[in-house]
Amino acid sequence: MTYSDINPMGNNDSIQQPARMQTWLIAQQELLASFASKRGLFVCSIFVIIWLWLLFYPIRISADAMNNPVGNSFILSILNLLGLEPLKDWLLAEFAVYWAVALYLFPGFSLFMAADQMISERKRGGLRFLTLRCSRGQIFFGRFLGHMLIQTGLLIITLAITYLLLIINSTQYWLEGLQIIPLLLLNLILVTSPFVALMSLLSVLMNSVRMASLMAVIILLISGVIINMLASYFPFLSVFHYWIPGMQVESMAQVTPDIALLSLWVPILQSVSFLMLGYGLFKRQAI
């Protein structure tokens, strides 16, 4: 039998996939493609190296210092200097330091990991193979979802290793550790989401991955300064701070994850805004 004998679907009985199924397929493919590309593997390798170092040195040492303050005043004074004094009140020192580190590192890392959601593919014309088979909305949101899955996967891995450190150092807190993991995960997923959504938007606007990453850094670093300057003359403009991803991270790092949940409306609103704007542009874009 040759393959020509098999045509499971003629042109008159084509099956329309449910929209969510296609979005899910695109998200899955994004996962596969991200780890199959050299760029994806490179960024992941960097991620693994950085996190292994962080987990086994700064996080472990800081956690030891918090568990045994005597003789560790130098490390504790550094935490105070970084404005992380409230972390000392945490029962689970490992997770306390992880929380402070992950709140800053994951969003930053996601900028680079999610920078190429569509740019390379649009340049080589690959999106044209997709648009005849699914809607632009499914492509756009599927890609975003795929990158959020990648971030979620990486968060779960780092949380699992941190939990391992916790039960090695303080076995008695194994249950408390398990209980806090979902709360940390939810917080960190939502904190990371506007950064990934910003890259979805920039993937539509920019023509190179490098430019998209550069633009993201400019938005995050410079726009705050510009808004501050403008707000000193026109105070009502300070409302634009709410559009800068991560504007609430500093305050979140000062509190425990359950209290931090109260400020998550900011990243949710930012994510929705960036995604809507990006989709609106992508829908009309020539590919």
Partner 1 sequence: MSAMIECINLSKSYGKKKALKNINFEIQSGQPIALVGPNGAGKSTLFGILSGYMPATAGEVRIFGHKAGSPELIGRIGALPQDALLDPNLTLLQQLSYLARLQGFSRIDSQKEALRVLELMHLVDVHKEKITALSHGMKKRVAIAQALMGTPELVLLDEPTAGLDPENARNIRQQITELASETTFIVSSHNLSELERMCSQVMQLEQGELKSLQAIGISADESLRSVDYLTLRLQQKDSEIHNKIKQLNSVQEVNVKHEDEFIITYDRRSNVALDQDLLKLLAAESVNYRQIIQGQSLEDQLFMETHS
- Name the residues that contact partner 1, by CB under 8 A: 2-4, 6-11, 14-17, 22, 25-26, 29, 32-33, 36-38, 121, 124-126, 128-135, 284, 286-287
Distances in Å between the Cα of 271 and the Cα atoms of 30, 89, 141 are 19, 32, 12
Phi, psi dihedrals of residue 124, rounded to the nearest 5°: -90, 5
Tell the smallest beta-carbon distance from residue 134 to partner 1 (Å): 5
Q: Which is nearer to partner 1, 139 or 196 (CB)?
A: 139
Q: Which is nearer to partner 1, 29 or 273 (CB)?
A: 29
Q: Which is nearer to partner 1, 70 or 286 (CB)?
A: 286
Tell the smallest beta-carbon distance from residue 35 to partner 1 (Å): 9
Q: Which is nearer to partner 1, 60 or 143 (CB)?
A: 143
Q: Which is nearer to partner 1, 94 or 116 (CB)?
A: 116
Q: Which is nearer to partner 1, 135 or 273 (CB)?
A: 135
Q: Which is nearer to partner 1, 8 or 71 (CB)?
A: 8
Tell the smallest beta-carbon distance from residue 143 to partner 1 (Å): 13
Output the six-digit token pair for 190. Answer: 């939502």
Rg (CA), the chain: 22
Q: What is the 3-state secondary structure (H, E, C) of the chain?
A: CCHHHCCCCCCCCCCCCCHHHHHHHHHHHHHHHHHHCHHHHHHHHHHHHHHHHHHHHHHHHHHHHHHCCCCCHHHHHHHHHCCCHHHHHCCCHHHHHHHHHHHHHHHHHHHHHCCCCCHHHHHCCCHHHHHCCCCHHHHHHHHHHHHHHHHHHHHHHHHHHHHHHHHHHCHHHHHHHHHHHHHHHHHHHHHHHHHHHHHHHHHHHCCCHHHHHHHHHHHHHHHHHHHHHHHHHCHHHHHHHHHCCCCCHHHHHCCCHHHHHHHCHHHHHHHHHHHHHHHHHHHHCCC
Tell the smallest beta-carbon distance from residue 43 to partner 1 (Å): 14
Tell the smallest beta-carbon distance from residue 252 to partner 1 (Å): 36
Tell the smallest beta-carbon distance from residue 65 to partner 1 (Å): 44
Tell the smallest beta-carbon distance from residue 208 to partner 1 (Å): 17
